[in-house]
Structure 1
Amino acid sequence: MIRLLASDLDGTLLGALHDVSLPVRAAIREVTDAGAHFAVATGRTFRSSGDFGFEGLPCEVVCANGAIVLNRESEVVRFATMDPAVIEEMLAAFPAAPFMCIGREHSYVRGTREAYEAGYEVRGPVARVVDGVRMRAMRRGQARYPHERVFDCSAEEILSHDICKVNCRVRDAGMARELSAFISERADRIVDAPFSPVMFETTAAGVNKGEAVEWLAGYLGISRDEVAVYGDGGNDIAMLERFAPYGHAFAPYGASDDAKRAAGLVLGSNLAYAVPRHMVRTVRGR
């Protein structure tokens, strides 16, 4: 019997506008009314379980690629910090990179808002439209936290805080290769699991959505074979692989090929809300 359903957001649970629309809300409500748990599993940073349109819904949250876990009461029940030494090395090695470092209360950006957002301009016109829709949805979702992102932070200021995740979108291809090599050389301390190939999303080694969802299941008293997971991108692969042996890992039709292989089971399109519909069928079938 499935007792916990955990889903990625963009490209998986959410539709074209990247918002928590009525079909999504109705599905989550039916899941939780049936006595099961629903958890968001995302690379986004939630400060409350009601962020990004989930207000009023009894959700757990696995965010920052598993580095932060919130319970239904929006309490942080897990915060997996990165080694400050490796963050210091990264900041020193790439002084021009607009790193965003996720802390317990704020996200600290080494650079200006303009430099950070310029990273989205490297993609083509269609991709920029998609990015724009997603970014607008994310800004609306965290409107209650106007100071979530603190810009123009020095390395010293960043290192004065506990950091669980470092994000970066690099415009220069050469710098991107160097950063990728930097992370690979420190695979015993950090891991990169971006939602798309143009991003870097770095956490402590061993931290990912899969192990965090399993941690949450244990926290809730739920066994691994009672968990169903849904994902579509690079930062979902560890989660899909962890639960695929039980036949409870699913990818939507538009998922990456790697995500589909990791899941083994493919649903319809997220544009037709295939994941919310599957969640409802799952709890009705219990």
Structure 2
Amino acid sequence: MIKLFASDLDGTLYNALHETDAAILRRLRRVLAAGRHVALATGRWARSAADLGFGDLPLELVCGNGAFVYDAGGELLRDVPIEPGVLEELLGSFPGVCFNCVAPDGVFVRGSRAAYAAGFVPPRGIAGRAIARRRRRHVSVGTERFDQTDADVLAHRVCKVNGRVSDPRLHAAVEAFLADHADALVNASFDGHLFEITAAGVNKGEAVAWLAGRLGVAEDEVAVYGDGGNDLAMLGRFAHAYAPRGASEAARRAAGAVIGSCAWHAVPRHMARTVRREGPLG
């Protein structure tokens, strides 16, 4: 019996516009009412499910690619920081990169608001406009602090570093740095262009397993859903793993089972069908 469902957001639990809607929320309520847990497993950073469009639903949150775990009430249960000396070396090695550094108390951007926005390139079309609109709303809430010095950044408990590097030589140099520091750092990027750096050993799969243990749920009682590069560890770890139809080839292989498209709410439908088939707990 599945007792914990954990899902990525963009391209997975969200709809085709990268948002929640009434149909998604309705099905999640049914899953929760049947006594199950639902966790959002995302590379994004937020303090609660409400920050990600899920209103007052009591959802656990695994964010920052597993660097942070929050309970359904928004309490921080666990965070895994990058070793400060390694972080200082990373920042010092690439002074021109607009890294945004994520800590429990906010996002500290080593660059201007304009440079930060320039590093975000949404897809074209209606979905891209929806993502850009949500992104503007998120930046406006004040969690980001811009024009931070290295010393400013290092004063916080940084658990994830994001950065988009368009210059091929500089991109290769950052990759080489990470390869040289593989014992301390890992990059699990969704699309291969954006660096998403955490401490070595941090990933969505490990964090969901940690959350399951805290909730008293066995790993074979967990179902996970994902579609991209930062979902591979999660999809590969759990026996009940599913990729939506639009997932990357690597994600489909890691999951082993492919369901429908996010445009047709395949993930929340699958969760609700699983609960309906298995019945209530107890």
Please state which band the TM-score falls in when normalised by the shorter chain.
over 0.9
| Aligned-partner Cα distance in 2 for 1:176–1:133 | 28
Question: Map of 1:12-31 to 2, 5 A cutoff?
Answer: 12-31=12-31
Tell me the residue number matched to 1:155: 150
- Partner of 1:232, secondary structure, is coil
- Partner of 2:49, secondary structure, is coil
Question: Map of 1:1-286 to 2, 5 A cutoff?
Answer: 1-120=1-120, 126-127=123-124, 130-140=127-137, 142=138, 146-243=141-238, 246=239, 248-286=240-278
What's the offset of the Cα at 1:38? 0.4
Letter in 2 for 1:190: L
Letter in 1 for 2:268: P
What's the offset of the Cα at 1:46? 1.0
What's the offset of the Cα at 1:119? 2.2
After superposing the two structures, state which structure 1 stretch, 210-219 or 170-179, moved more. Answer: 170-179
- What are the ranges of 5 or more consecutive residues in structure 2 without an aligned counterpart? none
| Aligned-partner Cα distance in 1 for 2:224–2:20 | 18
TM normalised by structure 1 equals 0.93
Contact 2:17/2:126 (<8 A) preserved: no
Contact 1:66/1:211 (<8 A) preserved: yes
Contact 1:49/1:73 (<8 A) preserved: no
How many pairs are equivalent? 278
- What are the ranges of 5 or more consecutive residues in structure 1 without an aligned counterpart? none
Contact 1:67/1:212 (<8 A) preserved: yes
After superposing the two structures, state which structure 1 stretch, 18-27 or 150-159, moved more. Answer: 18-27
What's the offset of the Cα at 1:136? 2.2
| Aligned-partner Cα distance in 1 for 2:2–2:244 | 19
| Aligned-partner Cα distance in 1 for 2:161–2:45 | 11
What's the offset of the Cα at 1:34? 0.4
Stretches (4+) displaced over 4 A = 126-132
| Aligned-partner Cα distance in 1 for 2:81–2:128 | 28
| Aligned-partner Cα distance in 1 for 2:115–2:259 | 38
What's the offset of the Cα at 1:127? 4.2
Contact 1:18/1:137 (<8 A) preserved: no
| Aligned-partner Cα distance in 1 for 2:249–2:261 | 14
- Structure 1 vs Structure 2 CA RMSD: 1.5
